[in-house]
Amino acid sequence: MLDRFGHHARPLPLSGSLGERAARLVVLLAALAASPAHAQGDFGSWLAGFRQEAAEQGISSATLDAALTGVTPDERVIALDRRQPEFLQTFSDYLRRRVTDAFVAQGQALLAEHAALLDAVEQQYGVPKTVLVAFWGLETRYGAVQGDLNVPASLATLAWEGRRSGFFRGELLDALRIIDAGHVSAHEMTGSWAGAMGQMQFMPSTFRAYAVDGDGDGRIDVWHSLPDAMDSAAHYLQRAGWRAHAPVAIEVRLPEGFDWRQARVFHRLQVAEWTAMGVAAADGSVLPEGAGRAGIVLPQGWQGPAFMVFDNFDVVMKWNRSQNYALTVAQLASQLAGGHAVFAGGGEPGALSVADFRWLQQALDELGYDAGTPDGFPGPRTQTAVRLYQALHRLPVDGYAGPSLLAHVRQAHAEAAAAGTLVLAPPPTFAGEDEAP
């Protein structure tokens, strides 16, 4: 369901004129031409070996012929696999682009249209219908954008290409097993460039583990059957640990003088403990003290909104390892149910480029903070390094790497370079600092 950066795969954008689309393709193919050679040699030889392996695992010759005859590497897929975003999105930008008044209204209309189905699924699996429709909207714009690339061809390309060949080889085998089971034909198995399929963008391995026949017709069609898609998504969330009648995330107001170091996604306290500190729901409602332990997250730093997150937030993060995505699921679900938009301002404006973030990680490493291997993407290890830097320099310790922090680190790095002290003793760690549940 996810790509290596924790985001769902998306097809090549289809908007714009034919000339614009051609120009985008030229850029992608140019990037491909500058990349390393394929790691597994001739595609035909690789495919012959793969077919033999698949046959030995029991996949029928009819399926192999239907799915793999005439398949050639799709250079668009390789280029899309190797792309990297130029800029990281702030939470406010991410949310604003995905949750609009019109999008919420469309989701509410679909909730009403499919009320009987969604009520039945909610009753069976304990997952609120608003949450399911939020996933549906964010994944495929309520089924409108499911991807139109042939999944076996895309996965064969990625399994041969070499960068993540083991992962995609397994996904290709699972895709062939789905075809062999009669759920979909090889021709009709379409999806994103990375193989995510259907209304909810399941990867083949996720399909095989969690997809169910919601409409009882003897096959699972996550592309066209809404009962199959909704039941499958709810089944996945239930198996991932969803707690019925418990929230995902609630926007909160933090008291004056709040210790920003406490705002860490895996620092969990009872809701009553947070309430005793002065944490309150942003809309004035009573926080659910029976919802278990909760953490506080600041998706755009101490100047932006704050959210109390619960066990179901961790479940959403299993679907997609993006904190922005998980908070957006919660926010869209809330608005679909008639709740408010985010009350607080967006926080510090401006997003770092991936190159800037990579430089920041390198600079923190050189200043003695262990930010890990510079890759241009925020993770728990980098966030811990940022917090330690902020604490040592008496900045708000919110772990947020925005433009102001980048400017501060640039100055500190330049001063340390001039003084010849770029390798510093590691600073002390916070008691109880944690990176994972």
Neighbouring residues of 163: CB distance < 8 A, sequence distance ≥ 6: 39, 81, 82
Q: How confident is the model at residue 33 (pLDDT cuts 50, 70, 90)?
A: very low
Worst-scoring range by mean pLDDT, 64-78, 325-339, 417-431? 417-431
Give pLDDT, residue 431: 44
| CA 118 – CA 127 distance, rounded (Å) | 10
pLDDT tens, position by position, 149-168: 999 999 999 999 978 999 99
Worst-scoring range by mean pLDDT, 38-47, 194-203, 419-428? 419-428
pLDDT tens, position by position, 337-377: 999 999 998 899 999 999 999 999 999 999 999 999 999 98
Q: Provide the percentage of residues in the chain whose pLDDT is more than 90.
A: 83
State yes or no: pLDDT of 181 exceeds 70.
yes
Q: Give the global pTM.
A: 0.87
The one-letter code for the residue type at 422 is L
Q: Domain 249-336: give its CATH architecture.
A: Orthogonal Bundle (1.10)
Give pLDDT, residue 84: 73
Q: Is the dihedral of CA 158, 376, 37, 39 positive or negative?
A: negative
Domain locations in the chain as residue ranges = 18-85+145-239, 249-336, 354-419
**What mean pLDDT value characterizes the chain?**
89
Neighbouring residues of 29: CB distance < 8 A, sequence distance ≥ 6: 75, 76, 79
Worst-scoring range by mean pLDDT, 13-17, 171-175, 240-244? 13-17
Instruction: Please list the helix, strand and coil fractions of the chain in percent, rounded to the nearest 5, in that order.
Output: 50, 5, 45
DSSP assignment of 28-95 equals HHHHHHTSPPPTT--HHHHHHHHHHHHHHTT--HHHHHHHHTT----HHHHHHHH---SBPPPHHHHH
| CA 295 – CA 267 distance, rounded (Å) | 5
| CA 434 – CA 32 distance, rounded (Å) | 39
Query: Which residues are registered as beta bridge partners of 295?
Result: 309
| CA 156 – CA 284 distance, rounded (Å) | 53
Coil, strand or helix at 3: coil
Give pLDDT, residue 379: 87
Give pLDDT, residue 85: 80
State yes or no: pLDDT of 16 exceeds 60.
no
Contact 414, 42 (CB under 8 A): no
Give pLDDT, residue 40: 60
State yes or no: pLDDT of 427 exceeds 60.
no
Instruction: Spell out the CATH class of 18-85+145-239.
Output: mainly alpha
Q: State the average pLDDT over residues 4-19.
A: 35
Give pLDDT, residue 206: 98
Worst-scoring range by mean pLDDT, 20-29, 250-259, 301-310, 372-381? 20-29
Whether the domain at 18-85+145-239 and the domain at 249-336 fall into the same CATH topology: no
Contact 259, 324 (CB under 8 A): no
Tokens 């917090």 identify what position?
Answer: 387
Contact 372, 382 (CB under 8 A): yes
State yes or no: pLDDT of 1 exceeds 90.
no
pLDDT tens, position by position, 68-86: 999 999 999 999 998 878 8
The one-letter code for the residue type at 341 is A
Give pLDDT, residue 27: 35
In 224-267, DSSP assigns E strands to: 249-253
Q: State the average pLDDT over residues 110-120.
A: 98
Coil, strand or helix at 332: helix
pLDDT tens, position by position, 251-284: 999 999 999 999 999 999 999 999 999 999 999 9
